[in-house]
Amino acid sequence: MSDYLLQVKNTNKKFGGLVALNNVSISIQKKSISGLIGPNGAGKTTLFNVITGFVKPDSGLFVLNQKKYTPNFIHKVARAGIARTFQNIRLFSQMSALENVMVGRHFHTEGVHSGILGSLTRTKKFRKNETEIKRKSMELLELVQIEDKANFIANTLSYGDQRRLEIARALATEPLLLALDEPAAGMNPKEKQDLKKLLFDLNSKGISILLIEHDVKLVMGLCKYVHVLDRGQIISSGEPEKVQKDPKVITAYLGK
């Protein structure tokens, strides 16, 4: 049985004459925190967007939990078991923290429980389902340590708490893999340390995490495995200690 949760093989993507990804392959181990780094223009965002269904690849094989998936549509990737956050926070700004997470739970339970008719007539089944969604959503707010802000409107939360809320909403879909796009972007040193602790806590509960991040120091102190992209190609993969000493990585970041 494979130890890999996600396998991406021989992935290619061009934008016009620009080769963004050139035969890229990475593997993400189960229950690990893995990082994807590289200098500006390396192809990190393109690969991340391909994996999560926001950009269609020209070619490649994608396997999640030993099942092939085709990353051509966002909702299909989410159904396959990948949930993501964004560098620019995308919350329902005028809804409460609790309501934001409940939206994620509704996505997870869509088509399983009572539908439109139930919501209109407020059947017993519908009310029971809503109670369960609310209960689970509160658990997720507690997991990311902002349960005391459940009724706060999302855009009134601090920047760090908005990041936590976005993670809780992603977890509401019960993903196999949590994909984080620049989670530390815009954070001060304390917020970064709090984020690091949160991700360690989530991982200790068996949640697999993949993050793309510019803060190399944060990645090296957080991730068990690191993949380095440069000019659309993987130039190094492995444990942080190995990657940091790789001459190709040093050259990519510092030049010859």
Q: Report the CATH number at residue 30.
A: 3.40.50.300
Number of structural domains found in the chain? 2
Chain position carrying tokens 């269904």: 53
Are residues 75 and 180 part of one domain?
yes
Q: Are residues 157 and 219 in the same domain?
A: no
> Each residue's pLDDT tens digit in the chain (256 positions)?
578 999 999 999 999 999 999 999 999 999 999 999 999 889 999 999 999 999 999 999 999 999 999 998 888 899 999 999 988 888 998 999 999 999 988 775 654 444 544 555 566 776 787 888 999 999 999 999 999 999 999 999 999 999 999 999 999 999 999 999 999 988 899 999 999 999 999 999 999 999 999 899 999 999 999 999 999 999 999 999 999 999 999 999 877 5
| 233 domain-assigned | yes
Q: Which domain holds residue 98?
A: 94-174
Please say which residue of 174, 209, 226 terminates a domain: 174
* Per-residue CA distances from 230 to 40, 221, 223 (Å): 9, 21, 19
**Residue 104 is assigned to a structural domain of this protein:** yes
Does residue 87 fall inside a structural domain?
no
Residues 254 and 197 in one domain: yes
In terms of domains, do 103 and 217 share one?
Answer: no
In a domain, 89, yes or no: no
Q: Residue 88: inside a domain, yes or no? A: no
- 77 and 179 in a single domain? The answer is yes
167 lies in some domain: yes
Last residue of a domain, one of 130, 150, 174: 174
Asked if 74 and 179 sit in the same domain, the reply is yes
Torsion sign across C-alpha atoms 92, 93, 95, 99: positive
In a domain, 239, yes or no: yes
Strand order in the sheet with 82-84: 82-84, 177-181, 208-212, 33-37, 225-230, 233-238
Q: Which of 174, 201, 232 is the last residue in one of the domains?
A: 174
Q: Based on the fold, state whether residues 20 and 131 are members of the same structural domain.
A: no
Between strands 82-84 and 33-37, the pairing is: unpaired
Same domain assignment for residues 67 and 135? no
Give residue 113's pLDDT: 46
Residues 54 and 180 in one domain: yes
Tell me the DSSP string of the chain: --SEEEEEEEEEEEETTEEEEEEEEEEEETT-EEEEE-STTSSHHHHHHHHTTSS--SEEEEEETTEE--TTSHHHHHHHTEEE--SS----TTSBHHHHHHHHHHHHHTTTS--HHHHHHT-HHHHHHHHHHHHHHHHHHHHTT-GGGTTSBGGGS-HHHHHHHHHHHHHTT--SEEEEESTTTT--HHHHHHHHHHHHHHHHTT-EEEEE-S-HHHHHHH-SEEEEEETTEEEEEE-HHHHHH-HHHHHHHH--
- Residue 255 shares a structural domain with residue 214: yes
User: What is the reported pTM?
Assistant: 0.88
Is 160 in the same domain as 179?
Answer: no
Taking only the tens place, the pLDDT of each residue in 84-117 is 998 888 899 899 999 999 998 877 565 444 454 4
Asked whether residue 183 is assigned to any structural domain, the reply reads: yes
Q: How far apart are CA 82 and CA 12, in angstroms?
A: 20
- Residue 67: phi, psi to the nearest 5? -120, 130
Quote the CA–CA distance of 233 and 23 in Å, as a whole number: 7
**179 and 248 assigned to the same domain:** yes
The encoded tokens of residue 213 equal: 């991040």
Q: Which one, of 39, 33, 44, lies nearest residue 177 by Cα?
A: 33
Instruction: Report residue 71 CA to chain centroid gap.
Output: 15
Contacts of 84 (CB under 8 A, 6+ apart): 48, 52, 170, 178, 179, 180, 181
Q: Scanning the structure block, which residue is given the tokens 């070619």? A: 59
